[in-house]
Structures are given as structure tokens and as C-alpha cells.
A and B are shown apart, each in its own frame.
Chain A
């Protein structure tokens, strides 16, 4: 036997080692790769193996044989189904920063009272379980050292547990921070448990039985011992017990805390799907050999402590101490983690909603101390429960009551994941009726009042199954009969497995970061509010003061998640509630549609079947709108831009990413005014609206249509059509028509004027014969000169008229360009009007163009005349040409004064001239233009030709050359 001090010292030494591990982890003294490894986290889930599986199981195996496996198998099934059940829960808790079962239900059903109810029930069911752990440790101590003060040691054990929970389980105010020290310590504890049990089992097989063969021989010789272990109870109790353990492995506070709150990776749960069943298999496998060894040793003490008695019977202190340490680790793990988890539950759901944070304290510290006090209260409560346990069989009964109570949370949890139709009424009715029926039937069951309750033969199975059935029925009935709020429906969608979350259709009353801060300040204090907001801004990467609607929504969601980690989901939602605007808008909202689309984009690969085809169709329609060769812009019901296609991006130069969610008024000029006035106006069409863009006039046609005939503000679609090209073409056509009419007019005038002028000229010539008077003769000569001038004007009018007419009979033939230019130069130089320009014909002699020789000669005469008029005395006029494919490019350049830019647009207008009156008709260049058009060429005038000296004019003419075949 051990002395009380020795045992106490051993226990304290073990717990100090545990403290040391946790402390080293928190200090970063252990390798980070090891600490963050998914396997470490998976191992920590071994906290499931409590004193029940370490001590209690030996009593069960003697009563019910193989039914002892129910606790191991139930938990194994839970872990094997982890990818289907636990991984979705982890996703929800991780996304919405939920730290406990109460948080999960409060978030799902958007109800503070449900959080409080869940917390109260979980605490009520867990405290007796913790009391059982304390009792197990105290009984062990008593067994090993009968003189030790049992209650005092139990109290001391509780104090150490509380200290550990406070030091390593309540380190951060926000529950979103992981307590890595706690996780590593729990992993170590799990390893200790399994190693100790395996060591004792191996000792039993190899030392007590002399090896596996010895064991087989002993079993063959003692078939009763084998039957004892292999028996299966007649009642179905153990089936229900298995289901209860299945539920407990997910729902008990310590399991929930380690599997979800302290877990940030899905990988560890995926690993747990085979690692935890294997871990539990090792634990279960160790039990039969230890039982047989105890039977062989004719052990007659308390059945629950077989594992200790092997060492005692073999007088092996090491073995006994190992068993004691194993039991201590089994009991301490659940106590520490369950207390930490329940403290956060009570804080979020029972205390925070009814307490006001004092103004003069720092919020984070206040929260931490609140949780620490709660840990102390909970462990004290457990100790109190332990002192009230006075029946030895009560361990089973209370354990059963607790485990079946957890079973009643299972329908709610499964419905949360798989059935969006459940609502808060259904959940509460189901839970209350289920647990109420269970507890009441057990309380009034006379069989249970008698001593020696037997877990596997007493009739508790019926009430348990009936109460569970009642729970499910009431849950479905309640959810069907009572209405579901919109908020609940949204939370339901957020929790559903594999269902894409609908965007939240709320409008916010905030536009700036300060608005959020002002909202949080009264509850959290200025410093905490600021710090939380900065954390959210940093996480979202938002730096600007005024937030876009999409940023606002992202910020609100992120902030709610942060606050949920700090205060719980209900408090967080209540705190941010004033942000939501009450007025509801019907129809599409730009931000919602964009959120939905971005989610669909992320979700694209996971869609299948009809959903995938519908998404393809959506993409096709979107692409059609995007590529439409007309500007398309849609406004949502709130008047914000919902869609902005590629063509309108091209027209406006504004990218879709920049303008989406804006109101048209916020667009830069002139688009803001144009679109706003058109959207608000009554006309649904606005043709040829003129806009000045980058100094050039452009014309746009606008059309609009409401997206819904019935709802007045369901949004609208606006089409923007660029009509500039069409209008310019129409202008050109009108211009050509005008020229043609001038031509017809000119031909008529020329004909009408020609006859009288000829008459005047004849009469003037006759004057020479009529009179010899010098003045009269002089007058006759002048009249003749003037009539010649009139004739010249009339002739040019006629030529212009002819050129303006489309004459298809004109024969275009190859002609040498050099000769044509030479002739033109010759003709022009005959009438150089007092100037003596130098002409240079640089056209290659072999170059030929296709055209009418007379008309082309007219072109060059006109151009050279103009050049001559503009050139200074002795100015150089050069003509050059080159062949380019089938075109000939001719350049006529002078050194004259050039043409002012404002006049360049009017050069080809008939009767437009800059020459002095009487010197030009204004028909030269229009004639050139018309002839060149008829020859399928074009003309371009560049002035100044010499940009350095800012003088000279260059005329570039393109005319068709010889076909390639004739070159």
C-alpha cells in the first residue's frame, strides 16, 4: 500500500508534467510543426476516454460481457462518420466563430433563450459526469491508501484541475484564439491512458498468463471466463447505450470544445475518422486480458478497479502507480476541458445577456476574469455533486442519465445539418419533451429507487427510446405548426450541409467605419471597439474611410463573426442589429446579386446535375449580355448599377469593377447626368443625344425598360447605342447631295449666262468696227476681258457640274503620270500671275495611273495653281509619286504660307475660297475632290507640311495604279 503523501506526490508530479507540457507549448518551446500537426489535435480527442472507460468498463464487462464495447463502438462510429457530420459542424463553427453547442444552436435558431436552455441542460448533464471523475480519483486514492482523507484529497484534486483550466484554458478573451497548450496536454493525456492500459494488458498476457499461448490454454481450461466476456445481455439496453455514446462523442462539452473550438483544420477530423477508432480499439482490446488476469488472480474487491488490483495483487508498485496515473489522466482530461467549455457557454448565454460591463474596466480582462470565476464555480459545483453521491451504483445511474440526456440533442443537431425546415419552436418542444419525459420516467421508476441499479438489466431502455421518439415527433410537429422567421431561415441555410448560403438581403445604416465604432463603444468600451474594428479592417484589407455597400456587408459579417467569438452569437447579433435598416426593398439588389454570383463562381466546380446545367445557362446569358454590341447597364431596385457590359465600358472608359453598386449620379461627367436624367425621366427612348467626349462630338441613343411590369421599383435596363458613325455618314450623304444639287444648279446657270455673255462678247468685238474712238475701243477691250472672265467662271462651273455627276461612261485608261504632271506644269507656268515659282517634277517616268487624262490634268492644274498662288517668289513646288501595291501615291508640296487649321475642314466646300475677290471661284478644290472620288482615290491635305518652319502645304493623293498583273 502507498502512503497518502506518496500518492499525492506522484499525482502532483504527473500533473506538473502536464502543466509543463502545456506551458512549453504556450511559450513556443516545443517545435511548431509538432504542435500544429493534425495528429496532435486528433490525439487530443482521446479525452473521450474518461474514468468510465478506464475504470467503469471493468464492472460492465462482468455484468454484460461484450456490451462493454458499446461506449467504444458508439464513439468509433461517431468518428468514422466525421466527414459527414463533424466536418460540416466544424465548417459552421469555424465560419461563424461558434465555441460551444449552445452557441451552435443559438446561432442556428437565432435565439438567446435557446442558447441559455442548451447551456443549462448541458451543464446539468455534465456536472454529474465530472463528479464521477472526481469520485473515481478519490476512490482510487482511498483504495491505494485507506488512511488518506478522501474528501480533502478530492478537494485538492479539484483545486489543481481548476488552476490548470484557468491557466491554460482561459488564456484569451476571444474564444476564436486556440489554446494550443491545452490541446497538447490533452494529447499527452490520451497517449498516457492508452499506453498505461496496454502496458497492464501486456503484463497480464505475458507475465500472468505466460504469453498468448498461456492465455489461450487458460481460456480453454476456464470456458466460464471466456463466456463471461463474450456474453451478450438479453435486453436491448446496450443498443441504446451505444447510440447515447455516439451522440456524446460529438455533443459532450469537452468533445465539442476539442473537436471544433480548438480545431482549425478539417484534416485533423479526417484523420480522426480512422485514428480515433483505432485508439478506442486499443483501449477496448486491453480490457479482456486484464479481466481474465484479475479472475485468474481470484480478485474479490471492487470490480471497477481491476486495473489497479493487478498491480496490488502482483505487489508491483510500478504497475499500480501506472494504473493510478492512467486513471488520473482519464479523469483530469474531461474535467479540465468540459469546465473550460461550459464556462464559455455560461458566459455567452447566461451572464453576458444580463450583465452590463462596468465602464471603468478593460473589456478583455473583464471577460477573462468572468470566465475564470465561472470555471471555479463549475468545479465547485462538481465537487458538491460528488459529495452528494452516496450510493456506489449511482456512478452508472448518473452516467446513464447524463449520456441519454446528450442523446436528446442529437435530433436537433442532425436537423441543423440536414433539414432546413426545423425552427426554434420545434427544437425547444422536441428537446424539452424528450429530456422531460426521460428524466420524469427515470425519477418515478421504482426499480431505480432500489439499491444496486444494473445498467444492462434494468428497464430504462423503453423510456429512453420513447423519449427520443417523442423528441423527434415534437420537433417535426413544432417546426411544421409554428412559423419560421426569415432570420432563422437564413441561419438555417448557413448551417445546411453542401448548400450555398443565400446572400443576406439587408441594408445597413452605416457608411463609415466610425458608424460601427459608435455602435460598439457603449457595450465594449472605446479601446476594445477600436481594436476589434481594426482587426476586421486588417483582415478584409479595407483601408478607405467611406465604405462601398459591398465592403459594408463584408465588414458587418466579419465583425459579427469576431464578436461571436468574443461574446457569443446571440450577443453579437443583438449588438449589430441597429445597423440593419427596416425598410425592405423588393426585387433584385445589386450587392446581393454580386455576392450570389461570386459565391456561384466559387461553388462552380461543386455543382452537379440540374444545378450545373442551370449555372451553365446563367453563364451563357451573362456572356450574351456582356458581349452585346450595344452598351447595357442595369439598375437594381435601389437604383444601383447591377450590370455594366463590355460595350458600355468601351463607350464610357469606366470599368465595370469600378462602377458596380454605384448610383448613376456618382458616375463622372457627362455620364452621371445623362444616365440619371434618363433613368428618372418619363421617356423610354432618347434618340441622338449629343455629348462632347475628349473634344469630339459623339451622339448616343438611349433606351430603357422596367424589369418588371407589376413592381414599380424592380429595377431597369438601359441600352446605350453609339450613333456617331451613322450620323456622320448621313451628314456626308447630305453634303454630297448638296454638292450634286449645286452642280445641277451651276450647269443651269452656266447655260443661261453663257448665251447673253456670248452676245455681249460679240457686241464688244463689233465695237472695233463701229468706232475709232480710243476710249470706246478701250472700253470694248475691257468688256471683252470681263466676258472672257465670265466665260472662264462659267466654264469652271460647267466642269464642276460635269465632275459632280456620276459618269459611268468615263473611260479610265493607263496614262503616264510624269507626262501629265509635266503638261500641267507647262500650262500653269504660262499663267503664273507674276510669280516665278520653281517647279520640280520628281515623278518616275515609268509610273502610270488609271484614269481619264483630261480630268487628271485638271486635278494637277488646279493643285499647282493653288500652290503657285500660295508660294512666295522663287518658291519651290515639287511633285513626287510612288507606287504602293496597286495604288499610286502622289505628293504635291509647296513652300507657301500653309492653311490655318480652322479652315482645313472647309477646303472641299464649293465656293469657299481664301483668295481675293475675282481671283478664285472656290470651285478648284471641290472639283479636284469630285474627280478623285470618281477615280476611287482619296485626297488628304497636310498643313503645315514643314512643321519646323510652320509653313508649306502637302497634298497627298492616292489614285489607282496599274493592276499587279500589268506591272
Chain B
């Protein structure tokens, strides 16, 4: 029987850590657009990953 242990562990890890990260992400600061900047940074990371992946339709 095949089981992606790493993937399942990651899902569990995300479930536990994401709320904490979100609280930090969205905590009130003077710069109201701070959460959006962090969001933009994440998007930039995804864009970089996509560019590295190239144009292959696998």
C-alpha cells in the first residue's frame, strides 16, 4: 500500500502552524497595507517557482 507520508505530515503541519502564522500576518500595525505586502511577497515566490518550472505541459 502506498502512502505519501511526507505529504500527509505536511498537511498536518500546515493545519497546526498556519493559524499562528496567520495571526502574525494579519496583526494590526500602523501600515494597514502590510498584510498585502506579505501576500505580494508570497505571490512573487510562486511566480519564481513557476518560471523555474518552465513551459512544459507535463
Contact with A along B12-53 (1 / 0, CB 8 A): 000100110011001111001101100110111011011001
Contact with B along A219-233 (1 / 0, CB 8 A): 100000011011110
A288 CB to nearest chain B CB (Å)? 7
* Secondary structure class of chain B's binding surface, majority of residues: helix
- Nearest-CB residue, chain A, relative to B58: A266
Q: Is the CB of A273 within 8 A of B3?
A: no
Which of the listed residues A66, A76, A499 has the most CB atoms from chain B within 10 Å of its own CB?
A: A66
A699 to B57, CA, bound (A): 55
Chain A residues, CB < 8 A from B44 = 274
Q: Is the CB of B11 within 8 A of A277?
A: no
A778 CB to nearest chain B CB (Å)? 111
Q: Is the CB of B42 within 8 A of A66?
A: no
* Secondary structure class of chain A's binding surface, majority of residues: helix
A76 to B41, CA, bound (A): 13
| Given A266-B58, A267-B57, A274:B50 Cβ within 8 A | yes
Chain A residues, CB < 8 A from B46 = 80, 273-274, 277
| Given A266-B58, A421-B1, A277:B8 Cβ within 8 A | no
A34 to B29, CA, bound (A): 43
A417 to B23, CA, bound (A): 30
Chain A residues with a Cβ closer than 8 Å to the other chain, count: 42
Q: Is the CB of B36 within 8 A of A284?
A: yes
Q: Contact check: which of A227, A230, A267, A277 meets B43 at CB < 8 Å? A: A277
Decide if A239 is an interface residue (CB 8 Å cutoff). Answer: yes
Q: Contact check: which of A281, A288, A496 meets B40 at CB < 8 Å? A: A281
Q: Contact check: which of B15, B22, B29, B50 meets A270 at CB < 8 Å? A: B50
Chain A residues, CB < 8 A from B55 = 267
Q: Is the CB of B57 within 8 A of A80?
A: no
A76 to B36, CA, bound (A): 12
A243 to B8, CA, bound (A): 16
Chain A residues, CB < 8 A from B29 = 230
A685 to B23, CA, bound (A): 79
Decide if A784 is an interface residue (CB 8 Å cutoff). Answer: no
B40 CB to nearest chain A CB (Å)? 7
Q: Is the CB of A277 within 8 A of B49?
A: no
- Nearest-CB residue, chain A, relative to B7: A418
Q: Is the CB of B22 within 8 A of A239?
A: yes
Q: Is the CB of A274 within 8 A of B47?
A: yes
Q: Is the CB of A288 within 8 A of B11?
A: no
| Given A274-B43, A281-B36, A69:B26 Cβ within 8 A | yes
| Given A229-B32, A232-B23, A232-B26, A277:B39 Cβ within 8 A | yes
B5 CB to nearest chain A CB (Å)? 9
Q: Is the CB of B28 within 8 A of A230?
A: yes
Chain B residues, CB < 8 A from A285 = 33, 36
Chain B residues, CB < 8 A from A497 = 4, 7
A84 to B7, CA, bound (A): 9
A670 to B20, CA, bound (A): 78
Q: Contact check: which of B19, B40, B58 meets A236 at CB < 8 Å? A: B19
B34 CB to nearest chain A CB (Å)? 9
Q: Is the CB of B53 within 8 A of A83?
A: yes
B41 CB to nearest chain A CB (Å)? 11
| Given A418-B7, A419-B4, A420-B1, A270:B53 Cβ within 8 A | yes
Decide if A764 is an interface residue (CB 8 Å cutoff). Answer: no
A276 CB to nearest chain B CB (Å)? 9
A418 to B2, CA, bound (A): 8
- Nearest-CB residue, chain A, relative to B19: A239
Decide if A493 is an interface residue (CB 8 Å cutoff). Answer: yes
A285 to B34, CA, bound (A): 11
Q: Contact check: which of B32, B42, B47 meets A288 at CB < 8 Å? A: B32
Q: Is the CB of A277 within 8 A of B42?
A: yes
Q: Is the CB of B42 within 8 A of A496?
A: no
Q: Contact check: which of A226, A231, A274, A414 meets B11 at CB < 8 Å? A: A414
- Nearest-CB residue, chain A, relative to B33: A285
Chain A residues, CB < 8 A from B58 = 266
Decide if A13 is an interface residue (CB 8 Å cutoff). Answer: no
Chain A residues, CB < 8 A from B40 = 281
Q: Is the CB of B28 within 8 A of A418?
A: no
Q: Is the CB of A273 within 8 A of B49?
A: yes
A242 to B22, CA, bound (A): 10
Chain B residues, CB < 8 A from A443 = none
Q: Is the CB of A421 within 8 A of B3?
A: yes
Decide if A278 is an interface residue (CB 8 Å cutoff). Answer: yes
Decide if A265 is an interface residue (CB 8 Å cutoff). Answer: yes
Q: Is the CB of A493 within 8 A of B2?
A: yes
Chain A residues, CB < 8 A from B49 = 83, 273-274
| Given A265-B57, A266-B58, A419-B3, A232:B39 Cβ within 8 A | no
Within 8 A of B (CB), among A217-255: 219, 226-227, 229-232, 236, 239, 242-243
A254 to B12, CA, bound (A): 27
A418 to B6, CA, bound (A): 9
A418 to B39, CA, bound (A): 28
Q: Is the CB of B8 within 8 A of A418?
A: yes
Q: Is the CB of B39 within 8 A of A76?
A: yes
A2 CB to nearest chain B CB (Å)? 34
A243 to B53, CA, bound (A): 27
A243 to B35, CA, bound (A): 18
Q: Is the CB of A80 within 8 A of B42?
A: yes
A419 to B35, CA, bound (A): 35
Decide if A475 is an interface residue (CB 8 Å cutoff). Answer: no
A265 to B58, CA, bound (A): 8
Q: Is the CB of B7 within 8 A of A69?
A: no
Q: Is the CB of A499 within 8 A of B32?
A: no
Contact with B along A256-288 (1 / 0, CB 8 A): 000000000111001101100110010011001
Q: Contact check: which of B19, B32, B42 meets A230 at CB < 8 Å? A: B32
A66 to B35, CA, bound (A): 9
Decide if A73 is an interface residue (CB 8 Å cutoff). Answer: yes
A757 CB to nearest chain B CB (Å)? 97
A269 CB to nearest chain B CB (Å)? 10
Chain B residues, CB < 8 A from A265 = 57
- Nearest-CB residue, chain A, relative to B20: A239
A80 to B49, CA, bound (A): 10
| Given A69-B35, A284-B36, A232:B1 Cβ within 8 A | no
Q: Is the CB of B2 within 8 A of A281?
A: no
Chain B residues, CB < 8 A from A242 = 18, 22
Q: Is the CB of A420 within 8 A of B32?
A: no
Chain A residues, CB < 8 A from B42 = 76, 80, 277
A375 CB to nearest chain B CB (Å)? 32
- Nearest-CB residue, chain A, relative to B47: A274
Within 8 A of B (CB), among A857-899: none
The 4 closest A-B pairs by CB, nearest first: A230-B28, A274-B46, A418-B4, A274-B47
- Not counting A232-B27, A273-B50, A414-B8, a sample of 17 additional A-B residue pairs whose C-beta atoms are within 8 angstroms of each other reads A69-B26, A76-B42, A219-B32, A229-B32, A230-B32, A239-B18, A239-B19, A239-B22, A243-B15, A273-B46, A277-B43, A285-B33, A288-B32, A418-B3, A420-B2, A421-B3, A496-B4
Ordered by A's residue number, 17 sampled pairs between the chains whose C-beta atoms are within 8 Å are A66-B26, A66-B28, A67-B26, A76-B39, A76-B42, A226-B32, A232-B27, A239-B22, A267-B55, A267-B57, A274-B49, A281-B40, A285-B36, A414-B8, A418-B8, A418-B11, A419-B2
